Each structure stands twice: as structure tokens, then as C-alpha cells.
Amino acid sequence: MATTTQSVSHRTAATTEAVRRRLGVRGRTLNFWLFVGPFLAGLIIFVYAPIGWSLWLSFFEARSTVTPTEFVGLENYVAMLSDGDFVGSLVTFTVFAAFAVPLTFALSLALALMVHRIRFMKGFFRSVFFLPTACSFVAASLIWKMSVFNGVRFGLANTVLSWFGVDQIAWLASPDPPWYWLVIVTVRLWLQSGFYMILFLAALQNIPRELYEAAAIDGAKSGWQTFRHITLPQLRATSTAVILLLLIAAYQAFDEFYNLLDKATWGRPPLVYLWNLALGENQDYGRGSAGALILALLICMVTLLQGRILGFGKGDDE
């Protein structure tokens, strides 16, 4: 009788434990979807659905309406690739990225090295350099346009130049000489360098001190020699990620150009050109969608090529 009672008790306990496990798994699954579900729904509704609809529109004639009217196949893509203004904007901004990306990378790394080595008020300098990241591109562009690089004599840049006997410069008035690039590049440096500085700082703090101590014992000199053979190789993964992010951001430039150059026909990035094409007088959503997808494919190709060259995703021991 006692044996039977113990057997029943064991079976009851095992059943209860199995029920608890199932409820525990279900509870964790429910908590997961409660947390992830809203973000996933927003991603599908506001990102993937518009991308899919843009892909659909790119094969149709769609003027002044987002409802496709006539199937045209690849005609929109052919029209965009044969559009000199669109192709010119892609070439122009490939050159722009070739200059803006290395400058931002170098400045961000230099700031990170400086803040990492400083021995006092480190938190203050880290906050000061990161603070411009909180400013929007629109606000920064207006400050640059109306206060710093204003084309009249009371603009900050022209005021400083007047001290050295230089006449005032119309920074944004004409493409010849192309002074507007200086305005756009400097505002980008001011806004972006602090963010990438934080990424480099995090990577610098993860470099083991033993490497520098071993290098010092072997006779390595602090400074350029240590930076070249220890610091820079240890920052390879972070450097590759920063370069890729900067490259994508360069091709997605919109706010500063739209606010600095107004309706100028020169110096327009691809996104400003597509904005005018799709939301301007013609409202050609079909060609605009095709151009957007061409730009997206170009960004993907350049990113993958650069990641392949720089070894993105590889470990330090590979």
C-alpha cells in the first residue's frame, strides 16, 4: 500500500513539474512576443511594406498617384539610368563620399585618442564632443547658413577672413568655385564626429593594457609606432563598421543639402533629386521608386565591396 502511494505521489509530482515547464515555456514565449511584437509590427508596416510597394510602383506608370496605372516593365529603370542629372548626382556623391568619409573617420579617431589619453575632466570632454550629435541636421544647417557661413560681411567665416584682408565670399551662391562643399563637409564633421568618437572610445577601452606593456618591454616607442602596430590593428573591426556607416550616411544625405542649397540645380544629392522628381511638379512616383531602388542597390554593392576589402565580420585572429 505504501509503495502504491509513493508511486502515485511520484507520478503526480512528475506531472506537476511537466505542467510547470510547459507553462514556463509558454510564459517566456508570450513575454518575448509582447516585447518584440510591437517593434516587429512597426518594422513591417513602416519599413518593409513601403519598400515592397516602392518595388511594385517601379514597374508601373504612376504620376500624381501612388496607385499604379500602366505596367511599363523596366522602362522606369532605363529612364533613370539614362537621366544625366541622376547619374551625375550619383557620381558627384561618390566623390563626396571619398572625401567626407576619410575626414570624418580621421577626426573621430583623433578625438577618441585624445579623450582616451586625457587624465582630467574626461567625462566633460566626452560630453562636449558628443553633444552636437543631439542636434538635428536641419537646425545645424540653418546655423551654418545664417551665422557661420553667411555670405554677407557679418557672417562668422567672412568676419574672420576680413581680419586677414580677404574679401567676403558667397559660400552658397554659385557652384564656381564650389565653396558649398566646405559648408556641407564642416557641418557633417561637426554633427557626426562625436558619435563615431564614442564607438572608437569603447573599442580603445577594450584593448588589453598588457599589449602596450609587452611592446614597451620589447623596445617599442610610444606614439606613432605603438599606434601603428598595436592600437590600429586592435581597432580593425570598429574601423570597418565606422567606415561602412559613414559611407551609407554619405549616400543618404538629404537634410543639409535641402536646407543649405534651397532649389539649386547644382550639388544635389541623389535623395534630393528623387524628392524633387517624386514630390515636385511631375510627381512621378514610378520613376522615383525606380531611382530609389537603384540608389539602394548601389549602396548595397559599395558596402559589400568595401566590407569584402576591409574584412568586415572577420575576427582579429583571421
CA atoms within 13 A on the CB side of 78: 6
Q: Is 144 exposed, middle or buried (0-12, 13-18, 19+ CB in 10 A)?
A: buried
pLDDT in tens, 253-289: 888 888 888 766 677 788 888 888 887 777 888 888 8
- Cα–chain center distance at 248: 5
Question: What is the Cα–Cα distance from 205 to 212, expressed in whole angstroms?
Answer: 13
- DSSP for residue 168: P
pLDDT in tens, 89-123: 888 788 788 888 899 999 999 999 888 888 788 78
Question: What is the Cα–Cα distance from 62 to 294, expressed in whole angstroms?
Answer: 17
Residue 115: CB atoms within 10 A of its CB come to 22
How high is the pLDDT of residue 264?
67
How high is the pLDDT of residue 10?
54
Residue with cell 544625366: 84
Q: Where are the domains of the chain?
A: 2-57, 75-310
pLDDT band at 47 (very low <50, low <70, confident <90, very high): confident
How high is the pLDDT of residue 8?
46
Can you say whether the dihedral through the CA atoms of 243, 244, 250, 255 is positive or negative? negative
How high is the pLDDT of residue 109?
92
pLDDT in tens, 1-13: 445 555 545 555 5
Identity at 225, one-letter amino acid code: Q
Nine-digit cell string for 43: 518594422
The Cα-based distances of 229 to 125, 168, 236 in angstroms read 27, 46, 12
Lowest mean pLDDT among 24-28, 80-84, 165-169: 24-28
Nine-digit cell string for 307: 566590407
Nine-digit cell string for 295: 540608389
Lowest mean pLDDT among 23-32, 171-180, 243-252: 23-32
pLDDT in tens, 137-194: 888 888 888 888 887 777 888 888 888 888 888 888 777 778 888 888 889 899 899 8
Nearest to 210 by CA among 234, 174, 177: 234
Nearest to 104 by CA among 224, 186, 181, 171: 186
Question: What is the Cα–Cα distance from 25 to 202, expressed in whole angstroms?
Answer: 36
Residue 198 and residue 207 in contact, taking contact as beta carbons nearer than 8 Å: no
DSSP symbols for 257-270: HHHHSTT-SSS--H
pTM comes to: 0.77
How high is the pLDDT of residue 261?
81
Q: What are phi and psi of 33, to 5 degrees?
A: -70, -30
Nearest to 138 by CA among 269, 275, 259: 259
pLDDT, averaged across the chain: 80
Question: What is the Cα–Cα distance from 3 to 6, expressed in whole angstroms?
Answer: 5
We find that the CATH architecture of domain 75-310 is Orthogonal Bundle (1.10)
Nearest to 312 by CA among 230, 242, 220, 232: 242
Nine-digit cell string for 286: 514610378
The answer on pLDDT for 226 being more than 50 is yes
How high is the pLDDT of residue 313?
54
In this prediction, residues 221-226 reach a mean pLDDT of 75
Residue 60's H or E segment, with its range, is strand 60-61
